[in-house]
Every structure is written in structure tokens, then in C-alpha cells.
Amino acid sequence: MAKIIVVTSGKGGVGKTTSSAAIGTGLALAGHKTVIVDFDIGLRNLDLIMGCERRVVYDFVNVINGEANLKQTLIKDKRTDNLFILPASQTRDKDALTKEGVEKVLNELAKEFDFIICDSPAGIESGAMMALYFADEAVVVTNPEVSSVRDSDRILGMLSSKSRRAEQGLEGIKEHLLLTRYNPERVEKGEMLSVEDVKEILAIELVGVIPESQAVLNASNSGQPVILDKDSDAGQAYLDTIKRLLGEQVPFRFLNVEKKGFIKRIFGG
């Protein structure tokens, strides 16, 4: 039985696509057959982050409309086994995704895959609603910043009222908090909300903390999910996150400022 995980946030630019790419790749690395579906119709970007933008022939909407089948449309990742991408359409038609169409495609994917990662667009419009509607679990990507936390809370409300599980009275969507762009130095100075602060406000289980890292931009520049950069802090933090998603207990890393030497402490830098 496939598990459908939506990566969502409400606010834009917090790292949904970066996280979707990392989570999808991580699950595939762990041996699970995984597909990442880009729900951001009109603003396709997962293909760029995954480095397969020149291999897109058909897209999600083509499959819904019966203009292409899944086999023709799914892009097999070249670096990671068990990993496929379903690109979003670049159409400007906002209503291209219908509930029936999305359900049909997800059902078909569920026969093949262990995990279906739904990369949600920002906002609370139909695209974002479609991405979360069929989810079994949700990764709520949040920055330690007021507008992101508020929007995440809004999305948590949607998850518990506007999803298929809510409408059919099933067990609720399992919610995970993924805190991204975390800067321990600024937290220590009292300039940034801490992990504990955000956990307390949103009151959901923490699945990962990704430090603010240069590795993320480097990864997106080269079209390679940051989780493959195993030497980087962000890459390692995503690897830990995957383990927790799969039920393992892993201690959190990168939450504190690295201890500096005596000289640095006196003179700063």
C-alpha cells in the first residue's frame, strides 16, 4: 500500500521543493520505490531542482487529460534507483487539476510505488488543496520566522478539515514539522525563534531541523538534491529526517552553535 506524503507550508520560499527533492531521494536511497509529484501547475520547478528539466516531455495534466500515459510521462532519476519524477504542467489554466483526475493518477501510481511525495505549491488555492487532499502524512515545512509559522498553522487547520481523511471521518493525517533555514547562531543571540518556540506554537511532532546552509543553493544551482551532498550539514540533516520519517529514533543535530576556539570567542568572527 503506497503512502502519500504531502510537503506543504502555506508560505512560499520556505523550502518545499528543496525538501520534496531531498525526501523523495532519501526514501529511494533507503530502498523504497518513490515518485515525487509536482503540484505547482504553471510554475514547474521540481524538474530544475532534480536536474531533469531537459527530459520533460509530458506532464501531470497530460496524464489527467489522457494525452499521455504514466509510463511515457514519469522521468526516471539518473542518479538514484527507485526514484521517479512526475513534472507539473506549465499551463496557465488554474483548474487543470480536478479532484477526480488527481485521484485517478494517484491510484495508478499507488499500484507501482511505496511512497508518493506531493510537492505542494504555496498558498491555499486549489493546487495546494489538491496536493494535500489525498495525503496520509504531511511534512509541514516551516522557517523560524513569524509569517511562515502563522501560515503553517493555517495549513495545519486545512489538513485537519479539508482533506479526504477529514471528510471521510478516517484517522487524521499524520503531521510532521520540518524546520528549515535554521540558524543556531541567531537563535543564541535571541534574533530567531528556536526549535522549542516553533514546536510549542504549532504543537506537532518534529521530524527534522535543516540548518541554513550554503550547500542548499549549491545543490539547486547544479540540479542535484542536497541530500546527495553527504558531507554537508543540510544533507546530513535531511538524511536524519528520512530515518525519522521511517520511524527510527535519531538525535537532532545542528541545533547548537559550533564551539569556537578561545581566540575567536574574544575577537568574534
Partner 1 sequence: MSLLDYFRSSKKNTASTAKERLQIIVAHERKRRNGPDYLPQLERDILEVIRKYVDIPADQIAVSLEQRGDQISVLELNVTFPDDKR
Where along the sequence are the contacts to partner 1 (CB under 8 A)? Answer: 145-146, 149-150, 153-154, 157, 161, 187-194, 197, 200-201, 264-269
Q: DSSP letter at 125?
A: S
Spatial contact of 206 and 219, defined as CB atoms under 8 Å apart: no
Q: What are phi and psi of 155, to 5 degrees?
A: -65, -35
C-alpha distances out from residue 251 to 96, 137, 206, 248, 255, Å: 42, 22, 11, 10, 10
109: closest CA among 25, 35, 165?
35
Contacts of 264 (CB under 8 A, 6+ apart): none
Identity of the residue, 36 or 192, whose beta carbon is nearer to partner 1 in the bound complex: 192
- Count CB neighbours of 18 within 10 A: 27
Query: In which element (H, E) is residue 116 found?
Result: strand 115-119
Task: Find the shortest distance in angstroms from Cβ 122 to partner 1.
Answer: 18
Identity of the residue, 251 or 269, whose beta carbon is nearer to partner 1 in the bound complex: 269
Task: Find the shortest distance in angstroms from Cβ 19 to partner 1.
Answer: 22
Largest CA-CA distance found in the chain, in angstroms, rounded: 66
Identity of the residue, 23 or 156, whose beta carbon is nearer to partner 1 in the bound complex: 156
Task: Find the shortest distance in angstroms from Cβ 200 to partner 1.
Answer: 8
Identity of the residue, 30 or 195, whose beta carbon is nearer to partner 1 in the bound complex: 195
Task: Find the shortest distance in angstroms from Cβ 187 to partner 1.
Answer: 7
Identity of the residue, 93 or 200, whose beta carbon is nearer to partner 1 in the bound complex: 200
Cell of 16: 518545499
Identity of the residue, 107 or 161, whose beta carbon is nearer to partner 1 in the bound complex: 161
Spatial contact of 23 and 52, defined as CB atoms under 8 Å apart: no
Spatial contact of 20 and 9, defined as CB atoms under 8 Å apart: no
Task: Find the shortest distance in angstroms from Cβ 203 to partner 1.
Answer: 10
Task: Find the shortest distance in angstroms from Cβ 145 to partner 1.
Answer: 8
Identity of the residue, 104 or 154, whose beta carbon is nearer to partner 1 in the bound complex: 154
Strand 75-76 with 83-86, pairing: antiparallel
Task: Find the shortest distance in angstroms from Cβ 76 to partner 1.
Answer: 42
Task: Find the shortest distance in angstroms from Cβ 46 to partner 1.
Answer: 30
Identity of the residue, 41 or 209, whose beta carbon is nearer to partner 1 in the bound complex: 209
Cβ-in-10-Å burial (0-12, 13-18, 19+) of 68 comes to middle
- Residue in the block written with cell 535519531: 250
Q: What are phi and psi of 169, to 5 degrees?
A: 70, 25
